[in-house]
Structure formats: structure tokens, C-alpha cells
Amino acid sequence: MPRYPLLSALLPLPALAAGPAVLPDTLLHALGYAAITIALALAATWLLARLSRRLLAAVVRPLRRPARRLEQRSHHLVRARALLQLLTGLLRLGRLLLLALIVYVTIERCFSYFPATQALSGKLAGWLLDPLKNGALLFARALPDLLFLAVLAICTRYLLRATRYLFREIERGKLRIDGFYPDWAGPTQKIASFLLIVFALMVAYPYIPGSGSDAFKGVSLFIGVLFSLGSTGAVSNIVAGVILTYMRAYRAGDLVRIGEVQGVVISHSLLVTKLHTIRNQEITIPNSVVLQGHVTNLSSSGARRGALVSTAVTIGYDTPWRQVHALLLEAAGATAEVMASPQPFVLQTELQDFYVRYELNAYTDRPERLPFVLSALNANVQDTFNRHGVQIMSPHYYDRARAPVLSPPPHD
């Protein structure tokens, strides 16, 4: 009696069901039976392809509209495309398994027709089915744990989608929470998703098949050591990024000065901050470096009150200070991008041995053009003082000049 009688009955040939006792007596008969078996296998493959296409069209297409309605009712937590792809994948998997069964039965039957390969045909089923049987037994034992892991994965997936949907609505302004700013939504969503995934992995670890084996523990320990050694800097940058986010020190589009670097914030992630400078350079600064220094935001209030731009000149004591004030304010008024309100003002910051240091402060509503505004303001200060015959000086320049050195602007 054959070891696997079910396989012997799959093809309707007398020789297939009869077993070794009725094998063909000649090689010609064996080749004939093999040819018939291969022809039947090709016919079964063609029929399987036709039926699978029709089954796919008959099952998947009518379910598109109900799946879309389900997606709308669940507020896009359940994706219609994902459901249809899952169903299509299951149908294709079934077709692949049937095709593999046809190939196996064809090879096993063809081996059984020839005396030289008859012994292999009896062992072929054992080589294939014994591992499958052992795997099925292991799968049956691990089935409760696998079901728990599947339910946990599905719940985690939908919780992540719900979290993403909630914070997206907050970011768009459709959902408001007192004390929670919309620009916090993106980073908070990433942190919440990360913590949710970590919690799910901690819950799932004891239920993973083989988690109690020494090999699994060794691999887990090795990965943990690598992560702890290589993530020290990354963790510090992430912590600094979280602190900077909730401090609201700057946002994308702000003009900031971080240490010696000044530029417009391109992006601010949990790891780094990217600035675009006036020299068309992109500078990446780790968040830990930003947190250790100080940040000057030049545009957080510039859109409302204006960003402050200042320049200083030194004038000798022989020039009345009221005249210097008037000239500096005139230069500020002649600068195109300086705001009239709030009004510019002048401070006398130093009284040195040979000169007085005057500081002109003005406001501009174009903080992103601050270097150009300062350059134009300095040019107007020189033109104004030269036009009125007042020398801008310092002790070194005064010592070298016997008479005031003036460069009057060209007259229109």
C-alpha cells in the first residue's frame, strides 16, 4: 500500500492508482505514462489560471464599493485598498499552493513509472510532507500565541492610525485643545507613536515563538548592546529636540541666530535643525548643540513689532550731540526698509577720551533681509554725515588726519 494514498489518487490513470505492482514493463510504456501525466498537469495549470482570474474578478471587483463605504464610515481608519490587497493576496496564495501541489504530484508520478527512480518516488513524499507535518504541529502549538500577536498587531496598527488622525486634525486647526499649540502636533504624534510601538513590542515579546531559546536571547542581547553603544548621541539629540519643540524657541521659516550662525530655519526635527544662510549655504546643527548654546529669534515678533537693526558711529566732542542724533535719525528715515513706527532711536553708549559712541536703533518688518537693511542703513549714515560736514572718526583715524576727511555723496 502506498505511503500517501491520497496523492496516488489525484491523477485518474490506472497506473497511478495501482502502485508498483502494475508499473509499465517497458521504457516506452513508462514514457507514455509520463507524457500523459505531464499533459494532464499542463491542462490543470491552464485551468487553474483561468479559474483564478475569473474568481479574482468575481470576488474582488464587487467588493470595491462596500470597502470604500467601510473606509468612509471608519473615518479612514480602515483602508479599502488594504482590504482589497489582502483578499487578492490570499487568492493568489491559494493559487500558488495549488500550482505547487500539481508540480509535486507530476514529479512524484513520473518518478514512479521508471524502475530506476521508483524508490525516489516513495521517499519524495516523505521529504516534503514530513517537514510540513512537523511545521504544522509546531504551528498548532503556537497558534494561540500567534493569534494573540495578530490581534495585538491589528490593534496597534489602528491605534497608530487613530493617533495620526487626531494630531493631524489638531495641526490643521479643526480640533483645539487649550494650552496645546498646533505646531506641537507633529512632534507629539511621533513621540506617541514611538511609545505605542515600544509598548506593543514589550507586550508581544513573551508570545513570540522561540523567544525563550538561548539563540533568541543572544541575538536580543547583541542588538541591545549595539543600540546602547551607538545611540548615545542620537538619544541626547532627540531629548534636546523635544525640549526645543515644547520651548517653541523657533519654527520653520524663522530667522534665527544660533551661536555664530544666522539663517532661516528650513526644518526642525527631533535630531537636527537645518538653517539656510544668506550665503546660500545649508547648515545642519545637532539639537544638543543648539540646547547647550543660546538662540536669538530675529523674526518671532518681527512680523508684528519689527526686528531691531542697530549700527554704531563714533563722533568727536566738537560736534553737538543733538546734531548727531538728528543726522542718525535722518539716515534711518532715508532707508527704504526701516519702519517709521516704532520710531528709530539713538543711544549714547560710551564717552571715551576722544569721541562719543552713538548707537542707532531702527526696526524693520523684513527680518529675513536684515543684513541688507543694515548695509543700506550704514550707507545712508555715511552719506548723511558727509553731506553735513561731520566726520565719522575714531582715535586712530583722528591721529592720522590733520583736517576732517569727508566724502560727500554725489548730487543728483
Phi, psi of 145 (to 5 degrees): -65, -40
Q: What is the pLDDT of residue 18?
A: 40
Q: Please, what sign has the CA dihedral across residues 58, 64, 69, 70?
A: positive
Q: How many CB atoms lie within 10 A of CB 141?
A: 11
Length of the chain: 412
Angle separating helix axes 80-112 and 64-73, nearest 10 degrees: 140
CA distance 276 to 88: 48
| Distance from C-alpha of 53 to C-alpha of 92, rounded to nearest angstrom | 10
Instruction: Pick the closest to residue 266 from 283, 279, 249 (CA basis).
Output: 283
Phi, psi of 60 (to 5 degrees): -75, -45
What whole-number distance in Å separates Cα of residue 31 and Cα of residue 39? 12
Domains of the chain and any CATH numbers: 5-113 (no CATH), 245-297 (2.30.30.60), 307-400 (3.30.70.100)
Q: Provide the grid cell at 338.
A: 526701516
Euclidean distance between CA atoms 385 and 298, whole angstroms: 29
Three-state DSSP string of 344-370: CEEEEEEECCCEEEEEEEEEECCHHHH
Give the pLDDT confidence score for residue 13 in this predicted structure.
42
Q: Give me the tens of pLDDT residue by residue for the chain, a chain 412 residues long.
A: 444 444 444 444 444 334 444 444 567 778 888 888 899 989 989 998 888 888 877 777 777 777 777 777 766 666 777 777 888 888 888 888 888 888 888 887 888 877 777 777 667 666 766 777 777 787 778 788 888 888 999 999 889 988 988 888 888 878 888 778 787 888 888 888 988 998 998 888 888 877 777 777 777 777 777 666 666 677 777 778 778 877 777 877 788 888 888 888 888 877 888 988 878 888 888 888 888 888 888 776 544 567 788 999 999 888 899 999 999 999 999 998 888 888 999 999 999 888 899 999 998 888 778 888 999 999 999 999 999 888 887 655 554 445 555 556 666 5
pTM exceeding the 0.75 threshold for the entire prediction: no
Cell numbers for 148: 494573540
Characterize 68-107 residue by residue with b for buried, 16 or more Cβ atoms within 10 angstroms of its Cβ, and e for exposed: eeebeeeeeeebbeebbeeeeeebeeebeeebeebebbbb
The H or E element that residue 265 is part of is strand 261-268
The whole-number pLDDT of residue 410 equals 63
Distance of alpha carbon 61 from alpha carbon 16, whole angstroms: 40
pLDDT at position 300 is 61
